[in-house]
Amino acid sequence: MDARRARHRKGGNAEVIPLPPAAPPGVVTADVMASDLGCFPTTEQYFGLVRAFKDDNFEMCVDLCAVDYLEHLDRPLPDGVAGTRFEIVVNLLSLSKKQRVRLRVQAGNDEPLVDSLFSLYPGTEAMEREAFDLYGVLFANHPDMTRILMPEDWEGHPLRKDYAVGKVPVQFKESPGPR
Amino acid sequence: MSDPTVRVAERLDILSAETSEGAQGLQERSKTDKDELGREVGAVLRLSGLTLDPNDVDYERRDDETMIINMGPAHPSTHGVLRLMLELDGEFVLRTKPVIGYLHTGMEKTGEVLTYVQGGTNVTRMDYLSPVANELGYCMAVEKLLAIEIPERAIWIRMLMAELNRVASHLVWLATNGMDLGATSMMIYGFRERELILAFFEKTAGLRLNLNYVRPGGVAADLPDGWEDDVLVICDTIEARTYEYDELLTGQPIFRNRMIGVAPLLAEEALALGLTGPLLRSTGVAWDLRRTMPYLAYDQVDFDVIVGTYGDNFDRYAIRLNEIRESVRIVRQCLEKMPGGDYRSQDPKVTPPPRARIDESMEALIHHFKLFTEGFHVPVGEVYSAIESPRGELGCYLVSDGGAKPYRIHVRAPSFVNLQAVPLLMRGGSVSDAITVISTVDPIMGEVDR
Amino acid sequence: MNVDQYLSILGLLILGVLFASGSFVASALLAPHKRPTDAKLAPYECGIVPEIEPPQRFPVRFYLVAMIFVIFDIEVVFMYPFAVVFRQLGAFGLVEVLVFSVTVFAALLFLVAEGALTWGPIKHLVPGTPSRTSSSTILRIGADPEKAA
Amino acid sequence: MALEDLQHNFLTGQVEDLVRWARRASVWPATFGLACCAIEMMAAGAADYDLARYGMEVFRNSPRQADLMIVAGRVSQKMAPVLRQVYDQMMEPKWVISMGVCASTGGLFNNYAIVQGVDQIVPVDVYAPGCPPSPETLMHAILTLHEQIRTGEILQRRSEGRPTHVEAQSNVWTPDVPVTVRVGTPK
């Protein structure tokens, strides 16, 4: 099965689409699964690249989520990209060209800071608040950087890998207490 | 000794401290900065920049003229535990801020603890009105990572169940929307039709809700024999009943006054906010993943994408009503074109062997044991697969580190993003319009809070 | 001055007093002795314990609606004595009361003209065409590709 | 002489039965639909499985007019104080049905976000198993509640002897119910 046929079966278009002309220089791209283009911008190139995509009529930012690679700092990444613990994954969609692009930004190890996409796509406001709430990733000039899902006085960010699942031991055998 | 079950506090503010969410809630105007105030008022970025037309956002309004009130978690018409903090000027809504998280179940954390085989049960409880859509999004992501082919019959069974689930979800929407507007008889009709579909689900998958029927590699069980006439009965009854609902609701003056022209939405605003599904299609943008990025076998099935013009509540109602008819049309075509063959991929690494063979062959026993204790291993990689759920684009972003458990599972919930249109749609309308806005945006809190 | 004319009013008065005091006595007797807790005294705000005291100032629209009620209330009060003797007054009484109610109605017309009852939402609504049905404003885009884009 | 000071003797025997029978036949539930169980509760309230036959045809939305709280769905940490507040604002006598395994024991989600069992927050009368319990199971739970009401005490609903919440186990974080409802954050 030639690569083009394999790529198509993974849901993307036949070939990998090129970067938009206005993209900042030096953005590393790779053939990422099930999307037409995978980019690995650094935190500096991040905002410029997303604006370039927006001008290249990628009308909608579909999804933004954080991933915590605590145990896999040495995961397979295209050369020239240093894998850090936190990673922000942004999914852009162009309705007119029917293409999807996925950006993976390395957001740093203990104090992840990325600038917010609110001024480009207002729809990302809640997603960024969720990424902050569950992972502790800070977003520069975000209008309302507060928790969204957890109660206000909750300490810690639950979805981090070093946060316990919080399982309560379940008594199956003859349980001493009433329950 | 005070009665242990009665919660007394010397001062009321101790009690109120427990339920107040501080910074997440709506603050007085003096305490909120311009950007957040613009967001709460519902100003949305247009291509020409953040349009905060000055007369629309009145900063100098003093706090004692308006009243901040909770349309809180335990409210009959917020469709679940959504808490809306509204700033009211008499009857009219000036600012809204949805406070969510009251149904946060930590499903993405539990998803990382369960194996791929068990993941379906966790994901299916997210959008509890269309469980098949959740499982389908999750299983397609896993299959893309595994790069396995699923048999033809499984594809068509999945399409049949997904469309029946879309009809059931839209029927519940019609029911609760009718009840929100006072047409309580619509509630009874909606749930009566839905029982037909749930009976069929119970017959095929064994459960009415949260089916866990779509599994990585195909479908849990084959369709029960005699399913053709069940589905035929469902299609005919529901098709006929949609014209009854049309008659019941569309001509009704109260329904028309509360739905026509209320909460209009522009295509530009919808795209900027990332809305998908009936909300986006009501503004005239013809974007339906089943048509534009076909998955399963939607390209071999003939159906129409329903698109609105004004983007107001009435359009969203008309879209959902006609989508029921389209889905029934798809179900009829699935009925005719349902291929034979096995319903689950025969790859022993993914599908457990049939029960009978376990006693005969040792190898089948090993496969069975390994699959159900440790689960199958998925190669390293990450994938994002999206399907069209009744509420919009439901995406599943899966990162696997080669183990039997997903390293990271993130579900892009359409309701979570569509909920951001609520401040924009409610701005300036009365509280009764606010009720219809929540109903037509149709957020499902299980999916919003995950 | 024959008393029996006022006997019925006296009876009504006594009944009123009995009913009012009766309910107090019954509740004192039958109600549970527990003092209502703080939570029960707090207003119900969908499960949230209210922290911000609602402002005392209400928008002026509600005051105007109260004014309309007062107009009709006064009108009815003056109708009572008329109703008692309207048979003796004959046609003259009827004309008199009609004139009176027309003048009171003028006050209502003025208030409605001033827009006391038109509370239309701030945001103007899209003027929908009246004949909209559930399939008139929607577009069906079939499978043919050029229309779907 | 209030209802609770009734001496259980021959004279007042019939009055108690009458009061209990009346209460049993017209228990109005407060809509406390949280998650998937709420959809099954609505399906139970709709035409096919009609709850109106038990005198529960109308789901009261404000706790002031409700006798029974059906906790239908998983209770998250953020929802716990709200649930407790609505429970406190319900009128006496009140009952609680914990519908579904998520409400009864935290069910499938044994993690930081879900209160493992709603009886850590409010005293529960009947637990309905199932995920989600089908409308028949909910009706079975309602009938057992009716039995409890018919044979139970008129007002002393919570006798001191019956523990209503989990005793403090040393090694496990336990919510100190019932005054501060916010359960601790596990590490």
Containing C25, the helix (H) or strand (E) segment is helix C4-30
pLDDT given at position B16: 66
Q: Is C85 on the interface with B (CB under 8 A)?
A: no
List strands edge to edge, sheet with D126-128. D29-30, D68-72, D95-99, D126-128
Indicate the class that CATH gives domain A3-140: alpha beta
pLDDT given at position B202: 93
pLDDT tens-digit map of B81-134? 999 998 888 788 888 899 999 999 999 999 999 999 999 999 999 999 999 999
Question: Is residue C43 helix, strand or coil?
Answer: coil
Asked if D4 lies within 8 A of C33 by C-beta distance, the reply is yes
pLDDT given at position D40: 93
pLDDT given at position A9: 47
Distance from CA of B166 to the nearest CA of D (A): 15
pLDDT given at position B301: 92
Asked if B208 lies within 8 A of D181 by C-beta distance, the reply is no
Query: In the predicted model, what is the mean pLDDT of residues B333-358?
Result: 88
Asked if B386 lies within 8 A of A62 by C-beta distance, the reply is yes
Query: In the predicted model, what is the mean pLDDT of residues B334-348?
Result: 90
Asked if A63 lies within 8 A of B410 by C-beta distance, the reply is yes
For residues B87 and B26, what is the distance between their CA atoms, to the nearest angstrom? 8
Asked if C140 lies within 8 A of B64 by C-beta distance, the reply is no
Kindly give the parts of chain D with pLDDT less than 70: 1-9, 154-187
pTM, rounded to two decimals? 0.87
Number of helices (H), then strands (E), in chain B = 19, 11
Q: Domain range holding D136?
A: 22-151
Instruction: Report which listed range, B11-25, B419-433, C23-37, C114-128, is most confident.
Output: B419-433
Out of A151, A165, A168, name the one closest to residue D77 (CB): A151
pLDDT tens-digit map of A117-163? 988 888 899 999 999 999 999 999 888 888 999 988 888 899 999 88
pLDDT given at position B4: 45
pLDDT tens-digit map of C43-78? 888 888 777 676 667 777 788 888 889 989 999 999
pLDDT given at position A82: 85
Asked if A151 lies within 8 A of D110 by C-beta distance, the reply is no
C-alpha distances in Å from residue A43, one per residue of A50, A108, C66, D19, D41: 11, 9, 61, 71, 49
Rounded to 5, what percent of chain B is helix, strand, coil?
A: 50, 10, 40
Out of D59, D82, D178, name the one closest to residue B73 (CB): D82
Query: In the predicted model, what is the mean pLDDT of residues A77-89?
Result: 87
Q: Is D131 on the interface with B (CB under 8 A)?
A: yes
For residues B1 and B4, what is the distance between their CA atoms, to the nearest angstrom? 8
Say which DSSP state D183 is in. P
Asked if A164 lies within 8 A of D187 by C-beta distance, the reply is yes
For residues B443 and B56, what is the distance between their CA atoms, to the nearest angstrom? 27
CATH number assigned to the domain with residue range B107-348+377-412, chosen from the 4 options 2.30.30.40, 1.10.645.10, 3.30.70.640, 3.40.630.40: 1.10.645.10
Q: Is the pLDDT of residue C126 over 90?
A: no
Asked if B308 lies within 8 A of C137 by C-beta distance, the reply is yes
Omega of the bond leading into B348 within 30 degrees of 0 (cis): no
Chain B residues near residue C37 by CB distance under 8 angstroms:
6-8
pLDDT given at position B204: 93
What's the complex ipTM?
Answer: 0.85
In this structure, how many other beta carbons lie within 10 angstroms of the beta carbon of residue C124? 10
Q: Is B129 on the interface with D (CB under 8 A)?
A: yes
Is D49 within the bounds of a domain?
Answer: yes
- 3-state SS of D117-179 is CHHHCCCCCEEECCCCCCHHHHHHHHHHHHHHHHHCCCCCCCCCCCCCCCCCCCCCCCCCCCC
Out of A72, A91, A165, name the one closest to residue B384 (CB): A91
Out of C30, C33, C49, name the one closest to residue D85 (CB): C49
Between B363 and A23, the higher pLDDT residue: B363
Residue type, B119: G
Considering only A1-10, A30-39, B398-407, which range has the smallest mean pLDDT?
A1-10
Is D110 within the bounds of a domain?
Answer: yes
Is D75 within the bounds of a domain?
Answer: yes
pLDDT given at position C67: 86
Question: What are the sequence ranges of the domains in chain A?
Answer: 3-140
How many domains would you assign to chain D? 1
Q: Is the pLDDT of residue B286 over 60?
A: yes
Mean pLDDT estimate for chain C: 81
pLDDT given at position B288: 93
Closest CA to B395 of A115, A136, A124, A100: A100
Between A15 and B307, the higher pLDDT residue: B307
For residues D38 and D61, what is the distance between their CA atoms, to the nearest angstrom? 14
Give the DSSP per-residue string, B278-317: HHHHTTT----HHHHS--TTGGGS---EEE-SS-SHHHHH
Q: Is B161 on the interface with C (CB under 8 A)?
A: no
pLDDT given at position D4: 65
Helix axes B131-146, B116-123, angle to 10 degrees: 150
Out of B7, B21, B75, name the one closest to residue D88 (CB): B7
Closest CA to B326 of B382, B278, B398, B394: B278
Q: Is B410 on the interface with D (CB under 8 A)?
A: no
Q: What is the percent of chain B with per-residue pLDDT over 90, rounded to a whole number?
A: 54
Chains in contact with chain D (at least 3 beta-carbon pairs closer than 8 A)? A, B, C
pLDDT given at position D38: 92
pLDDT given at position B60: 57
Chain B residues near residue A61 by CB distance under 8 angstroms:
274
pLDDT given at position B354: 83
Chain centre distance of CA C23: 26
Between B99 and A80, the higher pLDDT residue: B99
CA B75, B79, B81, B83 torsion-angle sign: negative
pLDDT given at position B158: 95
Q: Is the pLDDT of residue C31 over 80?
A: no
Q: Is B152 exposed, middle or buried (0-12, 13-18, 19+ CB in 10 A)?
A: middle
pLDDT given at position C73: 92
Considering only B18-32, B145-159, B368-382, which range has the smallest mean pLDDT?
B18-32
Is D127 within the bounds of a domain?
Answer: yes
Domain(s) labelled CATH 1.10.645.10 in chain B stretch across: 107-348+377-412
Q: Do D153 and C32 contact (CB within 8 A), yes or no?
A: no
Considering only A105-109, B301-305, B357-361, which range has the smallest mean pLDDT?
B357-361
Is D124 within the bounds of a domain?
Answer: yes
pLDDT tens-digit map of B167-181? 999 999 999 999 999
Q: In the numeric block, which tokens belong to residue C30?
A: 């039958």
For residues B282 and B321, what is the distance between their CA atoms, to the nearest angstrom? 12
Give per-residue burial for B401-421: e unless 16+ CB within 10 Å, then b. beebbbbbbbbbbbbbbbbbb
Give the CATH number, domain containing residue D144: 3.40.50.12280
Query: In the predicted model, what is the mean pLDDT of residues B351-378?
Result: 87
pLDDT given at position D164: 40
Containing B396, the helix (H) or strand (E) segment is strand B392-400
